[in-house]
Chains A and B, each alone.
Chain A
Amino acid sequence: EPEVTQTPSHQVTQMGQEVILRCVPISNHLYFYWYRQILGQKVEFLVSFYNNEISEKSEIFDDQFSVERPDGSNFTLKIRSTKLEDSAMYFCASSSSENYGYTFGSGTRLTVV
Chain B
Amino acid sequence: AQSVTQLGSHVSVSEGALVLLRCNYSSSVPPYLFWYVQYPNQGLQLLLKYTSAATLVKGINGFEAEFKKSETSFHLTKPSAHMSDAAEYFCAVTEGTGGFKTIFGAGTRLFVKA
Contacts and interface: CB of A to CB of B under 8 A. Distances in A.
Does B associate with A?
yes
Contacts of A107: 42-43
Given A98-B98, A98-B100, A43 B90 contact: yes
Nearest to A107: B43
Contacts of B43: 4, 91, 104-107
B24 interface: no
Given A43-B90, A99-B32, A99-B96, A48 B42 contact: no
A91 B90 CA distance: 14
Contacts of A103: 46
B15 to A, nearest CB: 26
Interface string A41-74: 1111100101000011010000000000000000
Interface string B84-110: 000000100010101111111111000
Contact of B101 (A48, A101, A105, A106): A48
B102 A42 contact: no
Nearest to A50: B100
Given A42-B107, A43-B44, A102 B100 contact: no
B46 A102 contact: yes
A104 B36 CA distance: 10
B106 to A, nearest CB: 5
Nearest to B52: A99
A4 B107 CA distance: 22
Nearest to B51: A99
A101 B45 CA distance: 10
Contacts of B36: 104
A31 interface: yes
Cβ-closest 8 pairs across A and B: A104-B43, A55-B100, A43-B104, A48-B100, A99-B32, A56-B100, A104-B44, A101-B46
19 contacts: A42-B105, A42-B107, A43-B44, A45-B104, A48-B100, A48-B101, A55-B100, A56-B100, A91-B43, A91-B44, A98-B94, A98-B100, A99-B51, A100-B49, A101-B49, A102-B46, A104-B43, A106-B43, A107-B42
